[in-house]
A and B are shown apart, each in its own frame.
Chain A
Amino acid sequence: MEKIIEVSDISYNYSDDHPKVLKHVSLTINKGEWVSIIGHNGSGKSTLAKCLNGLIIPQEGSVHVGGFDTRDPEHIWEIRRLVGMVFQNPDNQFVGSTVMDDVAFGMENHGIPREEMVRRLHEVLRLVRMDAFADREPYRLSGGQKQRVAIAGIVALQPLIIILDEATSMLDPEGRREIIQTVRSLNKKLGLTVLSITHDLEEAVHADRILVMNQGQVVKKGTPHEIFKTPELLEKIGLDLPFAVKMNGLLRARGIAVTGTALTEEELVNELWTLHSTM
């Protein structure tokens, strides 16, 4: 598997009199995977994300993106093109006065020629199903639509990875589903790597890999099954477990022998109705 991001032993604090926000964090992200980072408020998730596109340069350790070192100022703009970021508040990242202008903003910054820009513009708006809204002003869009525009603006730059920093946390369930579906289809269709930072463990269940952060450290890494095998750790650091995982625990406490591998409602239902069938 091809590594596209390699974080080796980074530590960071915002200023000398602050405690360290990241402590000796190391991780790698491979091409095409969907990685979720979970952790409670203030555990350093956003700070870590900002290290990945060079918005923050850690005091210790190094970050490599697509072979470039973020400490090298010569490649910083290339790195920012390769690492797209969608932030939490849909309103505060919408720069253009229309959907079209906003999607173009990133391409304009990176000096993409006009003809190419127009071509990609239509392509990415179709990908996120916003082509009918090209001339809309941001205040006439829903939160989910604004986030889809933000995603389009990033995809237009043909990045290696897209980071969602709680990009769905301000949306209603409908908007949340829209975004996750959009990103999932990009992940499948274009092989886009996704790093999703979230509080929502229901969402993290669908990731290929989960990193658990606590107090500036990655305390656990693994597939969702590995992570949720020991739900006690997640509960201890104050995360709300997915419904199916909670049910597994409760069922077991009542002496019902579920395997505990079901992570979604659907898997749990399937397990329950086949529990006593002998065929």
Chain B
Amino acid sequence: MFNLVIGQYVPLDSVIHRMDPRSKLISVFMFVVIVFLANNWLTNVLLILFCLGGILTSKISPAFLFRGLRSILIIVLLTFFLNLFFTGGGPLLLHIGWVRIYQNGLIQSIFITNRILVIIVMTTLLTLTTSPMEITDGMETLLNPLKKIKVPVHEFALMMAISLRFIPTLLEETEKIIKAQAARGSDFTSGSLKSRMKAIVPLLVPLFVSAFKRAEDLAMAMEARGYHGDFGRTRLHKLVWKRRDTLLLLTMGLLTVALILARL
């Protein structure tokens, strides 16, 4: 049930793992933007090749990556078919009942699906190769200028880190509650949608109660350990920008130029 790969760090030793989280964050952000430059076969193939390159250098097993992506496959397929059925233009390829598939529709849906897929793969790759702590540290440093206009950057970063830290704890707890309720005869897996929704309520209530209790305890523990905001705080992790980070950004620049040139 809970085999999402997204947000799970895999500690390996690769160039990508060793890169500065800031360069990785900037790159993924750039990537998400420039993906929209791709509008023909050549540019789309370029994106795929870039992704494959990323996966290979990260040393993450492709099988592991794609197994984890299975759970969002439904969204990808939905986008594909919606575009397939509702985009017109070009010669009619197939006509069964009310379904008409046009050549342009087919090509467009392939392109759009490909864009979504490469975006998902790249962002997943980021979280697989960068620990949550690094991601939040990186974000905090990148957004640091916003502190001048009183945006609580540090607080947001800490909130994010703590949320990520508690995901496994809460999932474990959910599983425990499900089992406890199932032992009392509650059924989450069959019956009508309505009855299933009803079965969820006795699951959510204890989960929320315990989450609030945890939050209270955690706040107390943090205060006892001397947490008093960003003021006068030092850092264990020091972010160091190396040559490989500059190289990564250069590569991203190159990809952008290549996409612009190869675009129709």
Is A93 a contact partner of B226 (Cβ separation < 8 A)?
A: no
Chain B interface residue count, Cβ-Cβ cutoff 8 angstroms: 30
- The interface-forming segment of A36-44, A80-88, A224-232 is A80-88
Name the residue on B nearest A53 (C-beta). B224
Checking B162, B168, B234 against A108 with a beta-carbon cut-off of 8 angstroms, the contacting residue is B234
Interface centre among A108, A113, A114, by most chain B C-beta atoms within 10 angstroms, is A108
Please measure, in the bound complex, the distance between the C-alpha atom of A121 and the C-alpha atom of B237, giving whole angstroms: 13
Within the complex, which residue of B221, B227, B234, B235 is in contact with A92, where a contact is CB–CB below 8 Å?
A: B221
- Flag if B233 contacts A111 (CB, 8 Å): yes
Contacts of A137 in B (CB 8 A): 168
Binds A, one of B37-45, B115-123, B188-196, B212-220: B212-220
Q: Mark B178-194, 1 if CB is under 8 A from A, else 0.
A: 00000000000000000
A179 an interface residue at 8 Å Cβ cutoff?
Answer: no
- Chain B residue with the shortest CB-CB distance to A118: B236
Could you tell me which residues of chain B, from 1 to 22, have a CB within 8 Å of some CB in chain A? 11
A-B contact number at CB 8 A:
93
B224 touches A85 (CB 8 A): yes
Nearest A residue (CB) for B213: A92
Q: Are A114 and B235 in contact (CB under 8 A)?
A: yes
B233 engages A109 (CB within 8 Å) = yes
| A114-B234 contact in complex given A53-B224, A95-B221, A97-B133, C-beta closer than 8 Å | yes
Q: Is B172 an interface residue (CB 8 A)?
A: yes
Interface class of chain A by DSSP: helix
Query: Which of A3-11, A98-106, A212-220 faces chain B?
Result: A98-106
The answer to whether A93 and B133 have CB atoms under 8 Å apart is no
Contacts of B220 in A (CB 8 A): 55, 87
The answer, yes or no, to whether B91 is at the interface (CB within 8 Å) is: no
Q: Which of the listed residues B131, B226, B235 has the most CB atoms from chain A within 10 Å of its own CB?
A: B226
Contact A92 B165 (CB under 8 A): no
> Does A243 interact with chain B (Cβ within 8 Å)?
no
Contacts of B232 in A (CB 8 A): 111
B residues in contact with A93, CB < 8 Å: 217-218, 221
CB-CB under 8 A for A96 and B226, given A89-B217, A114-B235, A117-B234: no
Q: Which of B113-136 contact A (CB under 8 A)?
A: 131-133
Contact status of A108 and B233, CB under 8 A, knowing A80-B224, A137-B168: yes
Instruction: Identify 29 residue pairs between A and B in the complex whose beta-carbon atoms are under 8 Å apart, listed by A's number.
Output: A53-B224, A55-B224, A80-B224, A80-B226, A84-B224, A87-B220, A91-B169, A91-B214, A92-B217, A92-B218, A94-B165, A95-B165, A95-B218, A95-B225, A97-B165, A98-B131, A105-B222, A106-B226, A107-B234, A108-B233, A109-B228, A111-B232, A113-B234, A117-B236, A121-B236, A135-B11, A138-B165, A139-B172, A154-B225
Which residues of B line the A interface, CB within 8 A?
A: 11, 131-133, 161-162, 164-165, 168-169, 172, 213-214, 217-218, 220-228, 232-236, 238
Given contacts A95-B165, A137-B168, 20 further A-B contacts (CB under 8 A): A55-B224, A80-B223, A84-B225, A85-B221, A87-B221, A89-B214, A91-B169, A92-B217, A93-B221, A95-B221, A95-B225, A97-B133, A98-B133, A100-B236, A105-B227, A108-B235, A109-B226, A109-B227, A110-B226, A111-B234
5 closest A-B pairs by beta carbon, nearest first, are A92-B217, A93-B221, A104-B236, A139-B168, A109-B226
